[in-house]
Amino acid sequence: AKNSTILARLIFCTFLMLSSWKYSAQQEEIQTYLFSEEFTPDGFNKRVSRLNSQKIETKLFKAYYLKLRGNHTGFTNLMAELVPRYANFNKNPFLHFLYNLQLSYYYAEQGSMAKAKSAVMMGNLVATSARQKDWQAYLYAQLGQIYSDEGLKDSSFSSHKKSIEFAKRSEGLITLSRCLHDFACSNAIFSQVERSVEQELHALLLVQKIKNDYYTSLFCQFIAKLSLEAGNIRESENYLFKSEQRNKANKCVTIELENKLLAAKIELKKGFSEESLKFLPKTIARIEKIQVEHMLGEALLIYGQALSINNNCVEAMAVFSKAQSCFEKLKTPKKLPRFIIQRV
């Protein structure tokens, strides 16, 4: 009986060791994938779904996915649970970096910019110690976004330039392309549309080179938005078509819905508000299901504009009120841009 007890304990300990080893291997795979040229949010989530959902590290990865997807409520709720769990992440450099990056996103969305900057600085200490240029690139990109939300153009651009410098010294092109996109977003917020297009075209060339359909589609979509902002409808339609074609293989729901909203804006710009009214209600219903607040707010704004043009003023006011509620949940940026910025 004694020997049986010892054997059972040995088997149990071996099982725990194998389980721990398997989880560590899966976690390492996720870290590698995050900076790989094949990276997409859905691909990231697919790998995260293989992990034990109750582990604190898995929740950190899930929060990152929700942030990328634009699910503000899901991200905020999950990060509120993770904020006091600092001790769970500070022994692993990668987790410590990702925790601080997420913490900065969280505080920025809460409007606590000083805390958001502190989280970036803490993450940068970890990244510097670990000699990880990719990590530093993403942290400085986040700092640039914080400053742009505060309306501090010079500080924002300086941080973005540092982000790109670190990205150029890192391995692979996905980090550089994402950092260029973030800089393009900040330029757009400060109404420097021409410069924003230049940076986005550079980012687009990089992701086309590595054949990443998700980011190719996303960056084409952003150029289409910028072109429409500049009044170039034909160019906007051209890049919207390219985005839609690339997304056929990738089948990203958020890109598909954003493209439908962009198509509606183009129809409004061309004076065909009736066309927008035909498909906007169904599009809004789909956006509500996936809980992406910034996209829902944008959709409601476009729908309200279409209703207003068609003299449905009472209904339009009700829709505008719903849009305002969506943007109030987001808290930042303090000034609503003329089109909604999608960070990556």
Q: How far is CA 141 from CA 144, 150, 173, 179, 207, in A?
A: 5, 14, 15, 6, 18
Rounded Cα gap, residues 166 and 164, in angstroms = 5
Each residue of 162-188: pLDDT tens digit? 999 999 998 789 999 999 999 999 999
Asked if 187 and 175 touch (Cβ cutoff 8 Å), the reply is no
Rounded Cα gap, residues 225 and 19, in angstroms = 47
pLDDT at 118: 97
**Dihedral sign of CA atoms 218, 219, 224, 226 in order:** positive
pLDDT at 25: 78
Two tokens, residue 228: 């429409």
Helices (H) and strands (E) in the chain, counts: 16, 0
What letter would DSSP give residue 87?
A: G
pLDDT at 9: 60
Give the residue ranges of DSSP H helices in 70-112.
Answer: 72-82, 93-110
Each residue of 207-219: pLDDT tens digit? 999 999 999 999 9
- Mean pLDDT computed over every residue of the chain: 89
Q: How many CB atoms lie within 10 A of CB 96?
A: 22
Say if pTM beats, i.e. exceeds, 0.95.
no
Rounded Cα gap, residues 197 and 200, in angstroms = 5
Within 8 A by CB and 6+ apart from 21, the residues are none
**pLDDT tens, residue order, the chain (344 aa):** 555 666 556 555 554 444 444 557 788 899 999 999 999 999 999 999 999 888 999 999 999 999 999 888 899 999 999 999 988 898 899 999 999 999 999 999 999 999 999 999 999 999 999 999 999 999 999 999 999 999 999 999 999 999 999 999 987 899 999 999 999 999 999 999 999 999 999 999 999 999 999 999 999 999 999 999 999 999 999 999 999 999 998 889 999 999 999 999 999 999 888 888 888 999 999 999 998 888 999 999 999 999 999 888 999 999 999 998 888 877 644 444 444 555 66
pLDDT at 336: 44
Asked if 181 and 202 touch (Cβ cutoff 8 Å), the reply is no
